[in-house]
């Protein structure tokens, strides 16, 4: 064991009743608080970004395949994709599911209310996980292979506005050139995602309803939705899908279709960076203050060590080792606090949000071990680098001026 480590350990064990002890405790708790704030900020903001992204993707998909003639969801152009192309896409890395869809704009009318809606038509191959997780009550539509279903689900917001409930008839009118066609759907389920931009308009039902309204042939759909496993690889997967399909198809990602939403989510990263910088500065300042006080208090000991042959570098290491222990304790305590609070919020959702403002009813938390590891390592590195300057003061201490013979 090197003598610096031995002295630093003895220094820590016996350093219990001096003036610097309260400052050391304050530094430890400050670092713990700073680390807890940084980890919680990362977990909450990443959780918020992930929650919003999942909701936007849930109403559509990660990647959409359409005809180049598509303009909007109210007037779509049919497209037929060869089964060999779909099979090629399904085997691409990161692709987990492909499903057909067709949207049709219309007007939902009751005795005293009128509301513009988008009817999203899906078939039996539709991934229902998103709507199943957000179903408030009722059930999902039963889509059969050989029979057109008139069952739909609507959002809780739309149901409240139009006075609908499970079992209600939803009379919807779809404009067709110079005329319109009416359909009476049966509401079988009520969902809620708190994403008002979509909840105010979307109703989900059988794809064949849209095909009949548009007089499309069997097999003609508005497009195909491609779901991926890893969102971070979306751009690479988008490029692979484009290469696997013919050039007359429009291939877009959810980021391209919702640029404002994802620009806002990206902007949140600046908040994370700002919090990390401020908390890192606070942690570094607290441990630097504690180190300076320890150096001033142990000036006589430093002079004694120098008379015994100790170099400036070795004495600096003693104080840096002690400071590293202080920082390490603070980081461990901060990680423990952040983990405990994250687990409590994740399981019991104690912190609530206004769904009108935040598109969710509680504070979301994404618990990722890498957040804890990265922030802990970065905090330790920042603090140790910050300690280099105050520890250099040791070189200015002269034994002749510090040692007193009583």
pLDDT digits (tens, 9 = 90+) for 243-290: 999 988 999 999 999 999 999 999 989 989 999 999 999 999 999 998
Average pLDDT, the chain: 89
pLDDT at 19: 63
pLDDT at 1: 47
Q: What is the pLDDT averaged over residues 315-320?
A: 85
CA nearest to 294, candidates 391, 379, 380: 391
Tell whether the model's pLDDT for residue 17 goes beyond 70: no
Contact 184, 220 (CB under 8 A): no
> What share of the chain in percent tops pLDDT 70?
94
**pLDDT tens digit sequence for 195-215:** 998 999 999 999 999 999 988
Contact 109, 194 (CB under 8 A): no
> What share of the chain in percent tops pLDDT 90?
66
Alpha helix locations (H) across 250-311?
254-257, 259-297, 299-307
Q: How far is CA 227 from CA 59, 98, 130, 238, in A?
A: 12, 6, 12, 11
Q: What is the pLDDT averaged over residues 216-229?
A: 92
Say which residue the tokens 């990263």 belong to: 269
Quote the crossing angle between the two packed helices 312-348 and 299-307, to the nearest 10°.
Answer: 140
Contact 358, 256 (CB under 8 A): no
Decide: helix, strand or coil at residue 41. helix
CA nearest to 79, candidates 249, 230, 332: 249
pLDDT band at 73 (very low <50, low <70, confident <90, very high): low
Tokens linked to 28: 């430890």
Q: Are strands 63-67 and 95-109 parallel, antiparallel or unpaired?
A: unpaired
pLDDT band at 231 (very low <50, low <70, confident <90, very high): very high
pLDDT at 14: 54
d(CA 379, CA 33) in angstroms, rounded, equals 12
Contact 60, 254 (CB under 8 A): yes
Contact 81, 65 (CB under 8 A): yes
């Amino acid at each position: 064991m090197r003598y610096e480590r031995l002295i630093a350990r003895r220094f820590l064990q016996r350093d219990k009743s001096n003036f610097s002890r309260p400052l050391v405790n304050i530094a430890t708790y400050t670092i713990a608080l700073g680390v807890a704030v940084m980890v919680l900020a990362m977990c909450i903001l990443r959780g918020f970004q992930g929650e919003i992204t999942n909701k936007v993707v849930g109403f559509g998909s990660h990647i959409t395949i359409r005809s180049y003639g598509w303009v909007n969801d109210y007037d779509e152009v049919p497209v037929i994709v060869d089964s060999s192309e779909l099979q090629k896409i399904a085997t691409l890395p990161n692709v987990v599911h492909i499903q057909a869809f067709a949207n049709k704009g219309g007007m939902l009318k009751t005795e005293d209310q009128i509301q513009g809606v988008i009817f999203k038509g899906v078939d039996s191959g539709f991934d229902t996980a998103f709507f199943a997780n957000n179903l408030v009550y009722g059930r999902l539509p039963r889509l059969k292979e050989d029979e057109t279903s008139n069952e739909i689900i609507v959002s809780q917001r739309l149901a409240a506005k139009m006075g609908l409930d499970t079992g209600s008839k939803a009379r919807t009118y779809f404009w067709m050139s110079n005329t319109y066609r009416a359909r009476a759907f049966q509401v079988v389920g009520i969902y809620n995602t708190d994403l008002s931009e979509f909840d105010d308009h979307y109703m989900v039902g059988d794809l064949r309803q849209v095909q009949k309204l548009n007089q499309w042939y069997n097999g003609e759909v508005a497009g195909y939705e491609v779901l991926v496993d890893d969102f971070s690889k979306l751009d690479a997967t988008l490029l692979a899908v484009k290469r696997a399909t013919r050039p007359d198809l429009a291939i877009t990602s959810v980021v391209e279709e919702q640029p404002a939403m994802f620009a806002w989510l990206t902007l949140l990263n600046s908040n994370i960076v700002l919090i990390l910088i401020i908390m890192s500065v606070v942690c570094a300042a607290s441990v630097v203050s504690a180190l300076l006080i320890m150096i001033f208090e142990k000036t006589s000991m430093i002079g004694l060590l120098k008379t015994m042959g100790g170099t400036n570098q070795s004495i600096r290491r003693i104080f840096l080792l002690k400071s590293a222990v202080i920082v390490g304790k603070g980081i461990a305590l901060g990680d423990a606090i952040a983990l405990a609070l994250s687990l409590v919020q994740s399981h019991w959702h104690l912190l609530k949000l206004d769904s009108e403002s935040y598109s969710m009813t509680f504070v979301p938390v994404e618990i990722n071990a890498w957040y804890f590891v990265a922030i802990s390592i970065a905090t330790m590195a920042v603090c140790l680098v910050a300690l280099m300057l105050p520890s250099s003061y040791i070189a200015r201490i002269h034994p002749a001026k510090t040692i007193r013979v009583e």
